[in-house]
Structure 1
Amino acid sequence: MESIVLSKLGHTWILDIDGTIVKHNGYKIDGEDSFLPGAKEFLDGIPKEDMVVFITSRTDEYREKTIEFLKRNSIRFDHIIFNAPYGERILLNDDKPSGLKMGMALNLKRDTFPEMNVTIDEEL
C-alpha cells in the first residue's frame, strides 16, 4: 500500500490521466474512458480546497471528449494540460525552511491504481 503523509496546508495534485486514473488508451481502444479500480474514489476524496491539475499527452482532438468524461463523472479539476510530450515529467520544488518536503512523486504501474493511504500530519 502506498502511504503519503501531508501537512495541513493546501495541496496541488498533478495527475496523469492515461494508465494512471483511467485505462491506458481506453478512449481509443474501447471508444470511451473507464476508471481504474479505486481511482474515482480517490479523486472524489481530494479536498475541495486543493488544486487538481491533470496532464496528458492526449492531443487537442480529444480535449472535449476528455473534459466531458470528467464532468459526467463529477471529477473536479482546476486545469488540464493537453499535448504533453511522451517523455518523463519532472517536478522541481523547494522545501520549506522547516524541512517540510514540498515535492512528491509516485511512479505507478500502468493501469493499476494503488491502494493509497493519505494522512494529514497536524505537526507538519
Structure 2
Amino acid sequence: MGYRLSLPKIFLLDIDGCICEHVDNEHPELMGVAQPYLESIKKINEWYDQGHYICFFTARTEEHREVTLEWLGKNGVKFHQLILGKPRRNRGDEYYYIDDTPVRATRYKGVFG
C-alpha cells in the first residue's frame, strides 16, 4: 500500500528568512516593514487554496503577535495557525522533532516557489 498523495498536507513554516527577510527578535521595529518574499507567499497561498493546512511556527515571541498578524494580513498571506515562541537556536544547533506519525522535514535553501 503506497502513500496517498491526495491527502491534505500540514505545512509547518518559519517566517523570518522563509516568507520575508530575516528580522531578529531584538529588532521588532523592523518586523512590520520586512521585505516579503513574494514567490514564497504565492506558493504558500497555492497550498492553502489546495486545501493544505498552513501553520507558521516562529521564534517570534508573544509580544510580536500583533505586528506579525498585521504583516501577514498586509501581505496577503493565507494561513490557519500561528505558533509563537519556537526555541531559538544558535548556528550549528540541530532541531529534533519526535512524533508518533511519519514526518517529512525539508530544509529550503533560498526562496521556494
Please tell me the TM-score bracket, short chain as reference. 0.7 to 0.9
Q: Residue type of the partner of 2:108?
A: L
Report the secondary structure of 1:14's partner residue: strand
Separation in 1 of the partners of 2:100 and 2:60?
Answer: 29
Alignment coverage as a number of residue pairs: 103
Residues 37, 113 of structure 1: 8 Å contact kept: no
- State the TM-score, normalizing by the size of structure 1: 0.68
Separation in 2 of the partners of 1:11 and 1:20?
Answer: 18
Separation in 2 of the partners of 1:114 and 1:18?
Answer: 14
Moved over 2 A (4+): 26-31, 87-95
Consecutive unaligned residues of structure 2, counting only runs of 5 or more, are none
Separation in 1 of the partners of 2:42 and 2:106?
Answer: 18
Residues 44, 54 of structure 2: 8 Å contact kept: no
Going from structure 1 to structure 2, the CA distance change for 1:58 and 1:47 (only over 3 Å counts) comes to closer
The Cα offsets for residues 8-58 of structure 1, whole Å up to 9 and x where unpaired, read as 001101001111111111793883122225211111211432211101111
- State the TM-score, normalizing by the size of structure 2: 0.73
Q: Residue type of the partner of 2:47?
A: I
CA RMSD, 1 decimal: 2.7
Are positions 1:25 and 2:31 aligned together? no
Are positions 1:12 and 2:10 aligned together? yes
Going from structure 1 to structure 2, the CA distance change for 1:7 and 1:92 (only over 3 Å counts) comes to farther
- Greater length-normalized contact order (CA 8 Å, ≥ 6 residues apart): 1
| Percent pairwise identity | 25
